[in-house]
Amino acid sequence: MKTRDLHVESNRPLVPPAILLEELLLTEPGSQVIARTREEIIRILKGDDDRLIAVVGPCSVHDPAAALDYARRLQEQAVAFAADLRIVMRVYFEKPRTTVGWKGLINDPYLDGSFKVNEGLRLARRLLLDLVGLELPSG
């Protein structure tokens, strides 16, 4: 008679982080973009740069394609207002205050209750790499 995990339907192993990093590589140019934008943000926070940081974006990403479209449009604004603002795209993959319903892109990437977490992790990393390619910082 089963006495443990009575409410568990199944277990699926999570992909190790090292595998994700290997499958979805951050390029050297991408790494340089991240380092440069982090330094810009540090200078702003320290007061060495007079610009303001504007963190803008959706509550939670539920559609990577829509998020990438938004990012492209936001990058245009980041360029237009670069003298006064350092725009950072808010990219959050979970629903932190949700106790029922959809938990976020990583947990349920297809919004169908399938809970394909490994696919959610891959979609999230791919989106972050795409944002680096746009040279749009995210947080």
Mean pLDDT by 10 residues, the chain (139 residues): 77 94 97 98 98 95 96 98 98 79 88 93 98 97
Would 100 be classed as within a structural domain? yes
14 lies in a domain? no
Q: Tell me, yes or no, whether 112 lies in a domain.
A: yes
**Residue 112 burial by Cβ neighbours in a 10 Å radius (0-12, 13-18, 19+):** exposed
Q: What domain range includes position 97? A: 21-133
Q: Write the CB contacts of 29 (distance below 8 Å, at least 6 apart in sequence).
A: none
- Decide: helix, strand or coil at residue 109: coil
Q: Is the whole model's pTM more than 0.75, yes or no?
A: yes
Is position 15 within any domain? Answer: no
In a domain, 5, yes or no: no
Q: How many domains does the chain have?
A: 1
**Does residue 114 belong to any structural domain of this protein?**
yes
Residue 38 resides in a domain: yes
Residue 9 placed within a domain: no
Bridging pattern class, strands 52-56 and 85-89: parallel
Helix (H, G, I), strand (E, B) or coil at 131: helix
Q: Note the pLDDT of residue 98.
A: 64
Tell me, what's the pLDDT at 100? Answer: 72
